[in-house]
Structure 1
Amino acid sequence: MTDRVLCFGEILLRLAAPGRELLLQTPRLDVHVGGAEANVAVSLAAFGHASAMAGVLPANPLGYAARDALRRHGVDTTALRFDEGRMGLYFYTTGAGHRPSEVLYDRAGSAFALAAADTYDWPALLADTRLLHLSGITPALGPATAQAALEAARAARAAGVLVSFDGNYRAKLWAAWDGDPRTRLHALLLETDLAFADHRDIELVLGIDGDASLSARDRFTAAAGAAFAAFPRLQRIATTTRAQASVDHHRLGAMLATRDGALHVRDGIELGGIVDRIGAGDAFAAGVLHGLLAGMDDADSLAFGQAAACLKHYLPGDASLASAADVMALLNGERLDVRR
């Protein structure tokens, strides 16, 4: 077994209005390659891990360009394949002040969404892999991808490969088809070792109503306890906490609960002058995974994940390119003078 991490999901193009403009306020869009799982793969590669991406891209210049973007950042793309279909897109408008950011999906009928579940050779794809990373976005895209994600998780379990799963609940995607998210996400969590989920994700999957009068910490603790009881393989649950004064000023904390009853809590870090918050959750997941894979304890892994997520807010694009040294510099409180 190696330290290779395989991420499975759809690679997207983000078409964003420049600066703080509305879509097509001027006839120009900025393009970034992204996708929840791809963002984790890029960030783990930046941390020095052998990360790989599995999925399907369209056999056209857009698909090849997306693959090449991951290659440039050190991600192994040999598990990607190309097929007929279109490129998944999403359009993004960055908010400002008290005007929220907006996402418009355009990914129906993509090459990834249409790929049959039985076209993935999971024993081969998972060879020499230590961890498989999935997210709740993949099963939200349709029956084929939902089945593929479940088969990937079950194949990983059979091969002794760890499974991490990021809830990433996207109501707009689930609403496009009668996908029964509770049942499908429940099945995936049964195969999961480490979940990135907040109390809302857990309550949705378990069909429970949380106590809204509880503090965020207590509600997460209660939800985590219910999740550990429902999913016997689950060992850890991690989440960020976010308070927003405006689009540009947030406070980002983090929590991690373990099956043995431990709860690690990181106080919020003030974030002002945010550049780009997209992908911050993926940076958090990659940071926690890096810590655990590198042998850090739970508390230090959570701290690393929180710091990685904070740095992502100051990097344009979907994926964080911060190195482990960059994250440690923030954790160690290094000065912000120009590095010369």
Structure 2
Amino acid sequence: MSQIITFGEVLMRISPLGNKKFIQSNAVEFYFGGTELNVGISLSNFGGHVKHISSISDDFIGDTAISYLNKFDLDTSSIIRSARPLGVYFLEVGAVMRASSISYNRSHSSFSEIEPSLVNWEKALEKGKWFHWTGITPALHKGAKETLKEGLIAARKKGMIISADPTYRRGLWKYEENPKEVLSELISLSTIFIGGIDEMNELLGTNYNYSNEDFIAASKQLIEKFPSIEKVFDKIRTSINSSWHKIRARMWNGKEFKETQDLDITHIVDRIGTGDAFAAGIIHGLMNFDDEKAIEFATAACAIKHTYLGDVNYANEKDVMTILGGNTTGRLNR
């Protein structure tokens, strides 16, 4: 059975209850997540067969994390166990005009020791059809970048579809390599680009704005520079305040431009992982629908994720299709 492969760090998220700051509370809740893991769990909820590859602490926290992955039927057979602790991040959830704040504790985590010799990519990709990666993983440390690179090379040799979400976060890059050069090399091994104008400007050294015309021009230039890229997908977020956003999507497939309508999210329950829900929606959409329906599905998947607490999108395909059908009233199902 064909698998979707995701590779990246598993993190524990710790937050005060509700919208409190840590100084207001001594009661917290925790969730498991991580950019690539969020994509994998969402795809599994849509009915996909997913394997997540990572390095997780060899203790009761790591056992709990793996049990969490298994709950969603993820294949964890290629996960490495480490003597180092699981990475953690702390989140204060904002509201209305107050923004959310995050602090990471991942520098010496179990994933920070991953290196190419620890992953048998030939075995890990044995049933693989699709490989998804993000720019978070190569930013963390050189070993993660080199391990990912070997995985992408192996995936290309197998003829797998490779989706790239380059997610450039300047503050994560601590080791002595040029982020633009690293990401460019990895994107040259990929076939689907999930990223917006900011990411394309960073890679191309350009100054495109956010108009549709500039998006098309940037996409064409990106495909010219990276000929392996076949399609470009972008999620557009309009923030009214911390609790009210609008979401839409657009794409360029080398031949035509498509764009969705805005979806209004008037009361955000949890914003974390919404971009991952969008990426999962694109992957599921491309595996099952045409390009236009794929971006519509991804937009709806992203929107509904805003209604779930935690990093993960718990919606299944039917839930997303309900929104696509125009049912956004939230009326009680009986």
TM range (shorter): over 0.9
**Residue 329 (structure 1) aligns with:** 322
Secondary structure of 2:167 counterpart:
coil
**Residue 235 (structure 1) aligns with:** 230
Hey, what's the Cα distance between the residues in 2 that align with 1:310 and 1:192? Answer: 26
- Count of matched residue pairs: 333
Hey, what's the Cα distance between the residues in 2 that align with 1:273 and 1:70? Answer: 28
Secondary structure of 2:262 counterpart:
strand
**Residue 70 (structure 2) aligns with:** 71
Percent identity among equivalent residues?
A: 29
For residues 162-186 of structure 1, the C-alpha deviation after alignment (integer angstroms, 9 at most, x for no partner) is: 1111112222211x33331101100
CA contact (8 A) 1:239 1:254 kept: yes
For residues 297-325 of structure 1, the C-alpha deviation after alignment (integer angstroms, 9 at most, x for no partner) is: 00001100000000000011101010000
Secondary structure of 2:80 counterpart:
strand
Secondary structure of 2:89 counterpart:
strand
Hey, what's the Cα distance between the residues in 1 that align with 2:2 and 2:294? Answer: 16
Q: Give the residue type in structure 2 aligned to 1:333.
A: G
Hey, what's the Cα distance between the residues in 1 that align with 2:78 and 2:300? Answer: 30
1:297-336 map, 5 Å:
297-334=290-327, 336=330
Secondary structure of 1:267 counterpart:
coil
**Residue 158 (structure 1) aligns with:** 157
Secondary structure of 2:85 counterpart:
coil
CA contact (8 A) 1:3 1:293 kept: no
CA contact (8 A) 2:80 2:118 kept: no
Change (3 A) 1:219 1:29: farther
Hey, what's the Cα distance between the residues in 1 that align with 2:326 and 2:261? Answer: 15
CA contact (8 A) 1:59 1:84 kept: yes
Any unmatched runs of 5+ in structure 2? none
Shift of 1:66: 0.9
**Residue 185 (structure 2) aligns with:** 187
Is 1:35 aligned to 2:34, yes or no?
yes
CA contact (8 A) 1:123 1:159 kept: no
CA contact (8 A) 1:142 1:179 kept: no
**Residue 178 (structure 1) aligns with:** 176
**Residue 3 (structure 1) aligns with:** 2
Shift of 1:219: 2.5
Shift of 1:286: 0.6
**Residue 280 (structure 2) aligns with:** 286
**Residue 195 (structure 2) aligns with:** 197
**Residue 252 (structure 2) aligns with:** 257
Hey, what's the Cα distance between the residues in 1 that align with 2:194 and 2:79? Answer: 25
Hey, what's the Cα distance between the residues in 2 that align with 1:94 and 1:338? Answer: 27
TM-score normalised by L of structure 1: 0.95
CA contact (8 A) 2:45 2:316 kept: yes
Shift of 1:89: 0.9
Q: Give the residue type in structure 2 aligned to 1:60.
A: D
Hey, what's the Cα distance between the residues in 1 that align with 2:262 and 2:11? Answer: 31
Hey, what's the Cα distance between the residues in 1 that align with 2:215 and 2:112? Answer: 32
Shift of 1:120: 1.0
Shift of 1:67: 1.0
**Residue 26 (structure 1) aligns with:** 25
Any unmatched runs of 5+ in structure 1? none
Hey, what's the Cα distance between the residues in 1 that align with 2:57 and 2:77? Answer: 15
Is 1:268 aligned to 2:265, yes or no?
no
CA contact (8 A) 1:95 1:247 kept: yes
**Residue 240 (structure 2) aligns with:** 245
* Bigger shift: residues 273-282 or 263-272: 263-272
Hey, what's the Cα distance between the residues in 1 that align with 2:77 and 2:118? Answer: 15
Q: Give the residue type in structure 2 aligned to 1:86.
A: P
Hey, what's the Cα distance between the residues in 1 that align with 2:131 and 2:218? Answer: 24
Shift of 1:211: 3.7
TM-score normalised by L of structure 2: 0.97
Shift of 1:23: 2.2
For residues 272-300 of structure 1, the C-alpha deviation after alignment (integer angstroms, 9 at most, x for no partner) is: 11000110111111111111112x10000
Is 1:209 aligned to 2:183, yes or no?
no
Q: Give the residue type in structure 1 aligned to 2:206.
A: D
Hey, what's the Cα distance between the residues in 1 that align with 2:208 and 2:310? Answer: 36
Shift of 1:116: 1.8
CA contact (8 A) 2:197 2:208 kept: no
For residues 52-86 of structure 1, the C-alpha deviation after alignment (integer angstroms, 9 at most, x for no partner) is: 10111011111111111111112111121202212
CA contact (8 A) 2:8 2:37 kept: yes
For residues 133-185 of structure 1, the C-alpha deviation after alignment (integer angstroms, 9 at most, x for no partner) is: 111100000110011111111110011111111112222211x3333110110
